[in-house]
Structure formats: C-alpha cells, structure tokens
Amino acid sequence: MLDIAPLVRVHVDALLAAQIDMGVCDAIERNAPVGKPADMSAPHLPKVAGIDSTVPSPAHTTAPVPPVHPSASALPAIPGAGIQDRLAGWVSDLTPLHELTERLIKTGSLDEALREVLRAGAALVGARRGMAVLEPGDGLGPTSTIGLGLAHADLGTIETVPRSATSYGRILDGLPEPAPEPAPELDPRHREVAARLGYAASYALPLATEAAGKLGAVVWLYDEPAEPTERRRHLVGLYSRHAAEHLARLLELERARVQVATVAEELLPSRLPRVPGVQLAVRHRTGPQGGGDWYDALPLPEGALGLAVGSVSGTGPSALAAMGRLRASLRAYAVMEGEDPVAVLSDLELLLRLTEPARSATALFAYSEPKQRRLVLAGAGHTPPLIIGDHRTEFVETSLSAPLGMLACWEAPSVEIAPAAGETVLLYTDGLLRRTGDPMDRAFARLHAAAASVPRADRTDPGAIADHVLRTLLPEGLGHAVDGEDVVLLAARFE
C-alpha cells in the first residue's frame, strides 16, 4: 500500500531483494519543498523502523525489535570479538523470530493465521496497522481480507483505490513496481484515502511459495513517514516465507474441508418435506475431515412420515460414500416396510454386513403418523430422542441395541410414543454430545438442561428450539471441530 510518495522510495539491492521477497515501501510526501530532498531521502542519523531517531516515536507505534548488539569498537581489540558480536546479534534476532513462528504454527484457520501474520509483522517492521489479503493465484479461492487496527469500513475505503495504484495491489496482480526515477505521480484517490485514514507510509510483502504460487499480500501502515531498516526488512522477509508455507498448508486443508462439506450436503436432502400436522427443522454441520453423520425425512403413503438419523464409522470420502449408500438403502426399505421400524433396521443390518463387513453404523428410524401424533421408532446403537414440551422434557426410553454391523443378527423391539400437541421430538447424533468435550453422562445432562431451558416463546418453532439447544450446548458455535465430529439435529414439532 505504500505507493505513497513520489520523492521517497526505498532502494533495495538485488541480494537483499531476494532475501525479503521484494518488499515494497513508499511514503507520502509531506511539505517537502520543490528542489529539496525529502526528510527521509536526505542524509540523517540512524533510524528505528524508518523514523528519524532524533524524533520521539509515537506512543501508538509497536515496540521495536531489540536492537542488534553494538560492535565492541570502543573496547580494546580482541581477536574474534567482531565475529562474536555478530553471532550474538544473530541470536538476538532469531530468538523473537522463533517465538513468532511458534505462535503462527499454532493457528488452525486461514483468518486466524492472517491475523497472527499481521500482528507479528507489525512488531517486526515497527508499524501499528495493516491489512492482509488472501487471494490465491489459481483463482480457486477462498479469498479473504483481514485488517489490523482497521475497521471494516476502513478496509472498504482502502479497496476503493485502484489496485494498480497500491503496492499490495501490484503484488496481487503481478505488476512490476514503477521505477523510482522519475518518481511516479501518486494516484489522487490513493492520496485522499491515505489522508482520510491517517497513514503516511506503508510496507508491503507478497505471500507466496514455490509449490503453491501466489497466495496474497500483506501491507503494514505507518502513521508517520517511515520505512523499516534493512535488518527489520530481513527479519520480516524470513518470517513471511515461513508464514506463506503455513498459509499454503491451511489453504489446502480448507479447500479439502469445503469439498467434503459440499459432497456431504449433496448426499443429504436438499429440503425438508411439508407434511400436514408436523413442522420440521434441521441443523447439520460436517466436520473438517468429513464424517458420516446423516439425516432424512421421507414422506410415506397415507400421510405418514419417516424420520431417520444415523452415523457411519470413519471419516473422509469413504465414510461419505458409505453414508450415501446407507441412507439410500434406508429410504427404499422405509417405502416397502416403514410401518415396522425393526424390519427396516434389520434389512439395513443385513445389507451393511454383506456389503461392508469392516464398517459399523448407528441408526434410528421413526415411522410417524402426524395427524394422530403417533411415532413408532427403533434404534441400533443410537442416542435416544428427546421430547421437549411445556410440561415435560425427557429422553425416550428405547431398547438397548448394538450398532449395525456389530452382530450376526440384529433385532430389538420398537417403542411407540404419543407426543402431545405442541411438543417437539428432537433426534440428534452423538457428535453433538462429543463436541462438548464432556464425558457422555455429563453431556447428556447438559443436553437435557439446554432443552429444558428453551424459552416458551421459542417452543412454537422447531428451528428456534434447535438453535437454542446449539447455543446453550456449544457456546462457540458449530465452528471447525478439532476432532472432526459431525453434528445433526432434526426437530419435529407436532401440531
């Protein structure tokens, strides 16, 4: 974003440019008389972060990196003293760099990593604000813009500047930097935005790796005309290369997660059916690795409705494929003999045992007659449903059974329940309980408490009930789960 002052430009020799990946530094000219050199171009005392050391640093500027150990020229000449001082300086530089890199590799998402890059880079170059733009060169996304010390409106203001007029934009577009002589005229819009946001200089670096190519760019903004010293540029260049490698790995993981989530969504119902006498709502989230949790709501003859949830063992594409086959098979069995949930699950057990003997699964199937408010259900190793109403909140007592594929012959008696008008039956997978991080008995107690605390005004809407349970049980939301657990909540409110 620097591109800000025609008379002030950092000159980097070829060797240093290779070390820092061609960082770009510019400054806005401020009251520099014609024919006289700008303050940053004229000879001056050594600077800290590009700011004249005779001028006190602004209080809001990030604390500078500890200075390199001075040479021992004032001491008597000692053989090897210069080398020792240089080694000590290298150690003092590498220590904070190692700490910043360790913090970076602990980040687990692209946005979190970009924020850490901005914070660490600001400390290394002595800036206060900055912006990181993720824009992979292959055009496959995802794209993201993260700010440091900049509000969302500030980021939008910066993006109104033509990209070719900003240093980070030229990096993203692969454009060459304009020659310093003659100095290029600053774009009027860029000058206006810089004055509005109160920055006078900036320093930009590309984010790229040899394998992944261009990933994006990062730029730090100075409140005063300034530039990072050669030592700071070298350190932030080293850091940015480590950051680019880490971002490339996170980008690959994010793309894989999105692909898995897309496949999972395509294998599940695109919409819930509308059946008189019952309202349906579902909340579903696929874990980062792609699990096998699924749900279904199938209209059946004579106004009946089949409800099902289940989970296939394993993660990844193979689990998704098995989940799709299992759900499709259950739909077929439900059409043929849905009035007998035990027969449906028995057929499913036989199919799984013959076609995928190395895999197990849990499932719960309920045959519902909404107008009569009647459900007949059976489960195979699955968590019990939960009834939520004005006068009761209780788990349905189902027969204990092993998961599908675990026994040579599976059969357990079905259970019939009759929800009252206005009551909601909540079906869910054990991923909801596992995401709490609590032991299962504690997780069940928390689920019951969350369901019991649904406000009375929300009990007329099954979607509001599901959202309340999720917010109460998982305050951090359905973000990326470390353990890759899927979550399914299927709510059916009977009128």
Q: What is the DSSP string of 103-137?
A: HHHT--SHHHHHHHHHHHHHHHHT-SEEEEEE--T
Q: What average pLDDT does range 422-433 have in this prediction? A: 93
* Pair (435, 332) in one structural domain: yes
Tell whether 6 is covered by a domain.
no
Is 50 exceeded by the pLDDT of residue 444?
A: yes
Picking from 456, 353, 380, 372, the residue whose alpha carbon sits closest to that of residue 419 is: 372
215 confidence band (pLDDT: 50, 70, 90): very high
Final residue in a domain of this structure, among 209, 236, 258:
258
* Pair (27, 136) in one structural domain: yes
The DSSP bridge pattern shows strands 292-300 and 374-380 to be unpaired
* Pair (49, 97) in one structural domain: yes
What is the per-residue pLDDT for 117? 96
Is 90 exceeded by the pLDDT of residue 54?
A: no
Number of domains in the chain: 2
Q: What is the CATH number of the domain that holds 436?
A: 3.60.40.10
Q: What is the CATH number of the domain that holds 177?
A: 3.30.450.40
What is the per-residue pLDDT for 80? 57
* Pair (207, 287) in one structural domain: no
Tell whether 8 is covered by a domain.
no
> What is the phi/psi pair of residue 379, to 5°?
-130, 150
Tell whether 283 is covered by a domain.
yes
What is the per-residue pLDDT for 366? 95
What is the per-residue pLDDT for 85? 62
Is 70 exceeded by the pLDDT of residue 37?
A: no
What is the per-residue pLDDT for 473? 92
Is 80 exceeded by the pLDDT of residue 290?
A: no
* Pair (250, 359) in one structural domain: no
Specify the DSSP element, H or E, that contains 48: strand 47-48
What is the per-residue pLDDT for 4? 43
Tell whether 1 is covered by a domain.
no
Picking from 376, 374, 398, 368, the residue whose alpha carbon sits closest to that of residue 386 is: 398
Tell whether 315 is covered by a domain.
yes
Is 50 exceeded by the pLDDT of residue 13?
A: no
> Which has more confidence, 93 or 390?
390
* Pair (296, 251) in one structural domain: no
What's the CA gap between 22 and 16, in Å, rounded?
A: 8
Is 90 exceeded by the pLDDT of residue 28?
A: no
Residue 391 is given by DSSP the state S
* Pair (395, 250) in one structural domain: no
* Pair (218, 351) in one structural domain: no
Is 90 exceeded by the pLDDT of residue 291?
A: no
Residue 120 and residue 237 in contact, taking contact as beta carbons nearer than 8 Å: no
What's the CA gap between 374 and 86, in Å, rounded?
A: 82
User: Picking from 76-90, 139-153, 337-351, which range would have the lowest pLDDT averaged per residue?
Assistant: 76-90
What is the per-residue pLDDT for 27? 54
User: Across-strand partners of 361?
Assistant: 312, 404
* Pair (328, 185) in one structural domain: no
pLDDT tens sequence across 234-257? 899 999 999 999 999 999 988 888
One-letter amino acid at 362 equals T
Output the average pLDDT for the chain.
Answer: 80
Is 50 exceeded by the pLDDT of residue 83?
A: yes
Tell whether 4 is covered by a domain.
no
Is 50 exceeded by the pLDDT of residue 53?
A: no
* Residue-number span of the structural domain to which 438 is assigned: 268-494
Final residue in a domain of this structure, among 258, 284, 302:
258
Rounded percentage of the chain residues whose pLDDT exceeds 70: 76
Q: How far is CA 454 from CA 187, 418, 470, in A?
A: 57, 21, 11
pLDDT tens sequence across 311-359? 988 877 788 888 888 999 999 999 998 899 999 998 898 888 888 888 8
* Pair (237, 145) in one structural domain: yes
* Pair (127, 191) in one structural domain: yes
Tell whether 389 is covered by a domain.
yes
> Which has more confidence, 257 or 166?
166
What's the CA gap between 371 and 275, in Å, rounded?
A: 9
409 confidence band (pLDDT: 50, 70, 90): low
Final residue in a domain of this structure, among 227, 258, 289:
258
Tell whether 381 is covered by a domain.
yes
Q: What average pLDDT does range 181-193 have in this prediction? A: 75
Taking the complete model, does pTM exceed 0.75, yes or no? no
- Please give the structure tokens belonging to residue 349: 């057990």
How large is the angle between the packed helices 462-473 and 440-452, nearest 10 degrees? 130
Residue 228 and residue 236 in contact, taking contact as beta carbons nearer than 8 Å: yes
What is the per-residue pLDDT for 263? 80
* Pair (278, 239) in one structural domain: no
Vertex 379, ends 323 and 402: CA angle to 5°?
85
Rounded percentage of the chain residues whose pLDDT exceeds 90: 49
